[in-house]
Amino acid sequence: MDRAQANKEIEQLRTEINQYNYEYHVLDSPSVSDSEYDKKIQRLIELESMYPDLLTPDSPSQRVGGEPLDAFRKVQHTIPMLSLGNAFNEEDLRDFDRRVREGLNEEVSYVCELKIDGLAVSLRYEDGLFTQGATRGDGTEGEEITSNLKTIRSIPLRIDLDDAIEVRGEAFMPKKSFLALNEKKDANGEEPFANPRNAAAGSLRQLDSKIAAARNLDIFLYSVGQWEDGTLSSHSERLDYLKTLGFKTNPEWKKCQTIEEVIAYVQGWVENRPNLSYEIDGIVIKVDNLEQQERLGFTAKNPRWAIAYKFPAEEAITKLIDIELSVGRTGVVTPTAILEPVKVAGTTVQRASLHNEDLIREKDIRIGDTVVIKKAGDIIPEVVRVVKDKRSEEQQLFHMPKKCPACDSELVRLEEEVALRCINPSCPAQLIEGLIHFVSRNAMNIDGLGEKVVIQLFEEKLVHDIADLYKLEKEDLLELERMGEKSVTNLLEAIEASKQNSLERLLFGLGIRFVGAKAARTLAEHFLSIEQLVSANFEELIEINEIGDKMADSIARYFDEPQAKALIQELQQLGLNMEYKGLRKTDQPEDSVFKDKTIVLTGKLEIFAREEAKQQIEALGGKITGSVSKKTDLLIAGADAGSKLSKAEQLGVEIWDEEQLRQALDN
Ligand code: IVH
């Protein structure tokens, strides 16, 4: 292939990939499978490495993160990135309205928007090319974080506009990604992020853009900075225009003619806020007409034409009765605050993770303290601070133990970890957690084996490791408390049935560090049998898409352990299936629940790659489409499902979660 041919193919690949990105990340409506997408990206990277001079900064290959930087460059904002004045109640909003009307002496309409709780950023485009992305910084000077922002797939790297334009918006981390990230951090003994905003900011301020690339960030654009264009006359037109240019704007904005309407909008979101898949901390109200905005101008700090209504912080005061310790599956020892029950943001809170000893020291938390509680990201209860005025002689300092609370072996603090870890492989707490994980829904999915029963079985010395589950006898179980003839039979049947599970469930169930449900499936599909996987080395493992260094290393080490080998062998002898049973493309069963059904997939899937789900459904005669309409028969909604889910609900379309999909496919 010569240079000219390569150039042509590269151009075509970029156009296609950009379109797929837009469909997936902005419209939430993919038109191609993940594997088709991956193939195109691979081909593009291949061609670009053959002809490095053809590599351009807007190539979609640049989204995976580049070479780490030594430091961030400073960026001057020609038009300052201002912050907004705050309103905390209805009266403040009415005052704002009064000031606006007095300033203008004419009719005014407002645009209300959600105040996204993330990090304000500015994106510059020149000749259509995304050339510079920056943080807000102090408003006049920010930091250049272009390569980090390029990893956000909803940011177009090229737009169809020749004028130079600067657009502004809020980069954020969806709640779900935040929860998953913190869970991972906890399990790895690292310091968790306090809230999604810090997580987003922390990710975008990394010198190594590969970190941002792995963090699932997103963005909503809400305003235009520098732009030599006078044709648009209102903010609402700008929002529409941003959307036309291919930017992701938040769909929930509303034009309001009166302050009463504004107040109703605010109240609506006070209630609806928990249902969003991202965090908001208030509502922004803006005068719609740009000429009016200009006439109103600015005070020293804020525009007079906009205000931010801040939701009341949902905090509560209670007493910290005790600090309990728990040992997780990976041996990390986590302290948890036991609280006098208190209501926060709609639910009763009785426990809050304190994560690690450093955090307890930092906040100077003592047993018996009166503490302020809130929900971080409105989801996870958190001790914000101690009410020091209420201190007396009674409070006691807390120290992490030197020994594991479950097995009494010495705890260690691994390098670079804030957590203490029990490294005794036969620690009962870890064994129990490992068993609970093994039988859980995304793993072996054994019905009737809840946490309580697992603990009971362990404590009665009926089950010590995974293999023991398959050696249980009816007589053993009948002796347990609350176990009747019927439940014993059901449980034994469920255990027996789980032997037939496809390989990926077993792989996930083994609890190999860093191997989640999705990776387990990828591995099973790739190797087809456990023998093949066990004999794969590090190099073979990292060859696989989606398997990174850390995971490959962990898998290779796991299967190197004689104990692991013995366990696999024992499970095999007990009759567990060790092969991948997922559908192959060539399978075409006559009849299936999906046959001739029009199906929409939305949200983030945790077990399946989207492409795989699509292929399997299509193999079973289903038709996948991008948007929900009256013709849709079934919506499969993963995490963070948004507008498609609401639409399906409105239209009365049947809705499944990912587990239902899995069960249907397994059948
Ligand atoms: S407008 C001059 N709209 O809130 C107007 N800001 O103090 C500038 N924010 O720094 C901002 N969502 O980080 C605007 N829909 C929205 C917003 C929003 C979040 C943040 C932004 C800004 C702060 C305002």
Mean pLDDT within 229-250 = 91
As given in the structure block, the two tokens for residue 239 are 């929002």
The tens digit of pLDDT for each residue in 314-349 reads 789 999 999 999 999 989 999 999 999 998 876 789
Amino acid present at 328: G
Q: How much distance in Å is there from the Cα of 29 to the middle of ligand 1?
A: 28
Identify the pLDDT of residue 217. 95
Q: How much distance in Å is there from the Cα of 120 to the middle of ligand 1?
A: 7
φ/ψ of 571, rounded to 5, equals -65, -35
The domain 423-582 belongs to what CATH superfamily?
5' to 3' exonuclease, C-terminal subdomain (1.10.150.20)
φ/ψ of 636, rounded to 5, equals -105, 115
- Taking the C-alpha atoms of residue 509 and residue 516, their distance in angstroms, rounded to an integer, is 9
Q: How much distance in Å is there from the Cα of 84 to the middle of ligand 1?
A: 7
Amino acid present at 640: D
Judge whether residue 586 has pLDDT over 50.
Answer: no
- Would you say 579 and 503 are in contact if contact means Cβ atoms under 8 Å apart? yes
Mean pLDDT within 343-369 = 90
- Ligand 1 atom index nearest CA of 113: 15
Q: Which helix (H) or strand (E) holds 582?
A: none
How many CA within 13 A on the CB side of residue 273? 26
Ligand 1 touching residue 195 (CB < 6 A) = no
Judge whether residue 99 has pLDDT over 50.
Answer: yes
Catalytic residue flag (residue 630): no
Q: If pLDDT is split at 50, 70 and 90, which confidence band does 588 have?
A: low
As given in the structure block, the two tokens for residue 307 are 């205000």
The tens digit of pLDDT for each residue in 7-59 reads 999 999 999 999 998 988 888 788 888 778 888 998 999 999 899 999 988 89
Whether the pTM exceeds 0.75: the reply is no
Q: Which residue has the higher pLDDT, 471 or 70?
A: 471
Catalytic residue (one of 8, 40, 115, 565): 115
Q: How much distance in Å is there from the Cα of 301 to the middle of ligand 1?
A: 13
Residue nearest ligand 1's atom 6 by CA: 115
- For the ranges 53-57, 401-405, 444-448, 657-661, the maximum mean pLDDT occurs at 401-405
Judge whether residue 585 has pLDDT over 50.
Answer: no
- Taking the C-alpha atoms of residue 26 and residue 246, their distance in angstroms, rounded to an integer, is 8
Terminal Cα distance for the chain, rounded: 47
Cα 541 vs. chain centroid, distance in angstroms? 25
- Taking the C-alpha atoms of residue 185 and residue 449, their distance in angstroms, rounded to an integer, is 28
CATH class assigned to 3-63 = mainly alpha
The tens digit of pLDDT for each residue in 559-574 reads 999 999 999 999 999 9
Q: Which helix (H) or strand (E) holds 608?
A: none
Identify the pLDDT of residue 590. 65
Identify the pLDDT of residue 587. 55
How many CA within 13 A on the CB side of residue 411? 24
Ligand 1 touching residue 116 (CB < 6 A) = yes
Residue nearest ligand 1's atom 4 by CA: 115
- Would you say 156 and 130 are in contact if contact means Cβ atoms under 8 Å apart? yes
Q: If pLDDT is split at 50, 70 and 90, which confidence band does 666 have?
A: confident
Ligand 1 touching residue 303 (CB < 6 A) = yes
Q: How much distance in Å is there from the Cα of 373 to the middle of ligand 1?
A: 27
Residue nearest ligand 1's atom 9 by CA: 115
Judge whether residue 606 has pLDDT over 90.
Answer: no
**Domain spans of the chain?**
3-63, 85-310, 315-390, 423-582, 585-666
Q: How much distance in Å is there from the Cα of 449 to the middle of ligand 1?
A: 49
Ligand 1 touching residue 224 (CB < 6 A) = no
- Which residue blocks in 329-449 are alpha helix, DSSP H? 357-362, 428-439
As given in the structure block, the two tokens for residue 352 are 């809050």
Is 87 exposed, middle or buried, given 0-12, 13-18 or 19+ CB atoms closer than 10 A? buried
Ligand 1 touching residue 430 (CB < 6 A) = no
> Count of CB atoms within 10 A of residue 658's CB?
21
- Would you say 214 and 134 are in contact if contact means Cβ atoms under 8 Å apart? no
- Taking the C-alpha atoms of residue 455 and residue 432, their distance in angstroms, rounded to an integer, is 7
The tens digit of pLDDT for each residue in 380-415 reads 789 999 999 999 989 999 999 999 999 999 999 887
Any bridge partners for residue 454, and if so which? none
Best probe residue, ligand 1, of 170, 224, 239, 252 (max atoms within 8 Å of C-beta): 170
- Ligand 1 atom index nearest CA of 114: 15
- Give the CATH number of domain 85-310; options: 3.30.470.30, 3.30.43.10, 1.10.240.10, 3.30.70.20: 3.30.470.30
- Taking the C-alpha atoms of residue 113 and residue 126, their distance in angstroms, rounded to an integer, is 28
Q: Which helix (H) or strand (E) holds 326?
A: strand 315-327
- Would you say 121 and 145 are in contact if contact means Cβ atoms under 8 Å apart? yes
Residue nearest ligand 1's atom 22 by CA: 83
Any bridge partners for residue 604, and if so which? 639
Q: For the chain, what is the mean pLDDT?
A: 90
Mean pLDDT within 76-104 = 94
Identify the pLDDT of residue 247. 96
Ligand 1 touching residue 201 (CB < 6 A) = no
Pairing state between β 315-327 and 306-310: unpaired
φ/ψ of 160, rounded to 5, equals -90, 75
Q: Residue 150: which of 197, 221, 213 has the closest Cα? A: 213
Identify the pLDDT of residue 271. 84
φ/ψ of 320, rounded to 5, equals -90, 110
Q: Helix or strand or coil: residue 556?
A: helix
Q: Residue 545: which of 6, 39, 25 has the closest Cα? A: 39
- Give the CATH number of domain 585-666; options: 3.40.50.170, 3.30.565.10, 3.40.50.1110, 3.40.50.10190: 3.40.50.10190
Judge whether residue 470 has pLDDT over 90.
Answer: yes
Q: Residue 596: which of 626, 582, 627, 617 has the closest Cα? A: 617
Mean pLDDT within 266-295 = 93
Q: Residue 135: which of 120, 117, 150, 154 has the closest Cα? A: 120
Q: Which residue has the higher pLDDT, 282 or 627?
A: 282
Q: Taking phi first (over 0 means left), then psi (-120 to 50 degrees means alpha), and beta for anything else, what does residue 220 get? A: beta
> Count of CB atoms within 10 A of residue 162's CB?
10
Which residues are within 8 A (CB) of 586 and not within 5 positions of it... i.e. 6 or more apart?
none
The domain 315-390 belongs to what CATH superfamily?
Nucleic acid-binding proteins (2.40.50.140)
Residue nearest ligand 1's atom 21 by CA: 120
Ligand 1 touching residue 137 (CB < 6 A) = no
Q: How much distance in Å is there from the Cα of 284 to the middle of ligand 1?
A: 7
Mean pLDDT within 489-502 = 95
